[in-house]
Structures are given as structure tokens and as C-alpha cells.
Amino acid sequence: MILFFMTINLTEFIRWRDNNLQRNVKDGRFKMTPMMKVTAIMPYGDDAFDELRIPRPVAAEGQLLIRNRATGVNNIDLMIRRGELAQAASLPFIPGVEGAGFVETVGAGVSEFEVGQRVMWFGPFTAGGYGQFVCIDARYVAPIGEEITFSAAAATPVAYVTAHHMLFNYGRLRAGSWVLVRSAAGGVGVAALQIARNAGFRAIALTDKAKHDFVLANGAFAAFDYKESAVFDQAMQLTGGRGVELCLNAVGGSTIAEDLLLLSPMGQVISFGHLAGPPTGSAADLLMTHFTKSVGIRVSDIYTYYQADPQGLSATLSSVATDLRAGRIVPQVFDVQPIATVARAHAILETGTVRGKVVISID
């Protein structure tokens, strides 16, 4: 009987609390903080993700609050989930460094965007793209047209800005130059093939034979099987014995030394990933053998560009967006997974069978 009395009082208290909360909000005495859903990495490993509710961010001066509809999956997301970047990503951590959606709020000092506009964005390491809303510096946001899906737009910023940066800011290429692209069927690889084709460069795609038709359809001048021992002879024969002016290498391991053999005089290898582990060999092994060709090796991390030259990255993103709207580049979306199955999206990317990009849709 006493328990029944206490239950009635508790019910009445909850009803009283909720009524007063609604009345106070209506009277303007205080405002409830808008919340949003995010999917965060809680522990490291395969079973990493959990849904959280956190306060919605507020656009500061120079920023846009974007209602996020899709986000691209990148290798950096996989590395964070596996704990390989634990020092830079304390838990819980919300991944996602690129995406697309609608402008929800325009921050002070921003005049080139309006509420409701369709946009794609490139964010910092902590952007939180696996969430319903993101706040992004307006200079790293670009408009997209109605004809462009959010999935295609979300697959664009990281891959195409990275490829554009390496081809034009490092490459010193001209029409007719030869470019070797490893992992050519991946996100950055496809972007490099399309951009190289549009600029009049001749791209040689290295990927397994099953993907040759795919890379040729996306701009490769020729495609070779990276597993065959005859790759060097094939590439040298194709280039008339000169070699290639630029190698874009996301693989690492022993392939840096292999790419140096294929360089023409003054050529260079750009290492921007380590799918097969860190490059092997010493500086003497890698460079002194090719001293008389004056070749070079450099590394490229897109976040160095982001931090050291924000105006340059903004201009590159704008150029990429112009090409996207004009149909000169066509992002290849391999698979779209809802945020509820984000673990599957990561697993798909880790299979090595992906052609283009994996994207997550956000409710």
C-alpha cells in the first residue's frame, strides 16, 4: 500500500516537472539545448561504435552549421578506429572529415552562403562527420547543385583535393606528361586519373587485373597489373624508354624503390599513404642509386596543406567543386551504408575490393 502511494507521487512529480519545463521554455525563462545524434568510437577495435546524444554545435564567426546528410569513409577513419592514432584521438571520438548536406545556420561574417543551400565540406581531423550536424569554416565549404547527390558530393573533397594538390602543386607537369598511379581504383586513385585526363596528362594505372576496365573508364591511359614482374618493362616501353615524370604512391613498403626506377630525369615520387607499411630502404639506397637523374621523393599529407596554406586549400576545393558541377569529374561511389551499419562500411573499405569511395548516409 505504501509502495502504491509512492508510485502515485512519483508519477505526479514527473508530470509536474514536465509541465513546468514546457511552461518555462514557452515563457522564455530558459531555452533547452538542441541535441543531436552522433556515432562515436568508444573502444578501439572492430566493435567500436556506439550512438550518443550530444549538444548540437553552434556556428561561430566565419563558420557554417551544416545539417549533414552524408560523409565519406577514409583510411584515417580506419586508423583511428584501430587505435593507430590514439595519441591524436582520445575516446570517445567522432570520425568523419568530409561530407555534404544543407546549410542550417550562417555564422557572423559569412555572406556567400544562405540557409538551406546544398553544400559539400572538407573538415579538420575533429570535424565529427559521423554526426547529424557539423560546424565548418566557410572557406572549406563549397556549393553543389541539385543534380549532385549527397553521396557523390561526400565522396569528393578529400580524394579530389588530395589528387589536385599533388598533380598541380608538386607535379610541375605539362600536357603529355606521364603519371604513374598506384592503388588506382581507390578514392584518390580515381580522382587522380580523372584530373590527369582532364589536364592532358597520361596516367598509367597500377591495380589488379579485375579493375582494369574500371580505371580505363575513369581516365587511365593504360592499366598494368601491379603483381606482374613485367611492370617496369611495360611502363618503359609505353613511355618510349623515358619513364614517368610523377609517381603517386599510396602503398609504401618496397614500392617506393620500385617507382624510382621508373622515373624520368627530374621526376619525383610522392608518398601519401602506407597501405603496405612504411617505405623500406635508407636514403642512400633510395636516392644515391639515381643521383644522375636528379629525382626526388617527397611525402604529402593533406592536413599539412590544410594548416599551412588554408587559402590554397580553399581555392583547390572551389576548383574541384566547379569541375563537379560541370560534370568534368564524376566521383565513383562503390557503396553507401546507413550510419546504423557504420561498422560494415569500415569492413567494406578494408577488404581491398573497393572501386572508388565508401559513403555513410546520415539521417
Grid coordinates belonging to 126: 575533429
Say what the pLDDT of residue 29 is.
55
Task: Mention every residue, 6+ apart, whose C-beta is less than 8 A from residue 284.
Answer: none
Task: Mention every residue, 6+ apart, whose C-beta is less than 8 A from residue 257.
Answer: 279, 280, 281, 285, 286
Say what the pLDDT of residue 26 is.
57
Three-class DSSP category at 189: helix
d(CA 337, CA 150): 13
User: How does DSSP classify residue 169?
Assistant: I
Mean pLDDT per segment of 10 residues, for the chain of length 363 residues? 39 53 55 90 95 97 98 96 89 97 98 98 96 98 96 98 96 93 97 98 96 98 92 94 96 92 96 87 83 92 95 98 97 98 97 96 94
Three-class DSSP category at 165: helix
Say what the pLDDT of residue 50 is.
97
Task: Mention every residue, 6+ apart, whose C-beta is less than 8 A from residue 25.
Answer: 31, 32
User: How does DSSP classify residue 252?
Assistant: -
CA dihedral 286, 288, 291, 295 (to 10 degrees): 20
Residue-averaged pLDDT of the chain: 91
Say what the pLDDT of residue 18 is.
53
Q: How many CB atoms lie within 10 A of CB 178?
A: 26
d(CA 40, CA 146): 30
How many residues would you count in the chain?
Answer: 363
Do the bridges between strand 244-249 and strand 263-271 make them parallel or antiparallel, or are there none, so unpaired? parallel
Q: What is the DSSP string of 274-328?
A: -TT-SPPS-HHHHHGGGGGGT-EEEE--HHHHHHH-HHHHHHHHHHHHHHHHHTS
CA distances from 38 to 99, 310, 363 (A): 14, 27, 10
> CB of 360 within 8 A of CB of 132?
no
How far apart, in Å, do the first and last CA atoms of the chain sit? Answer: 47
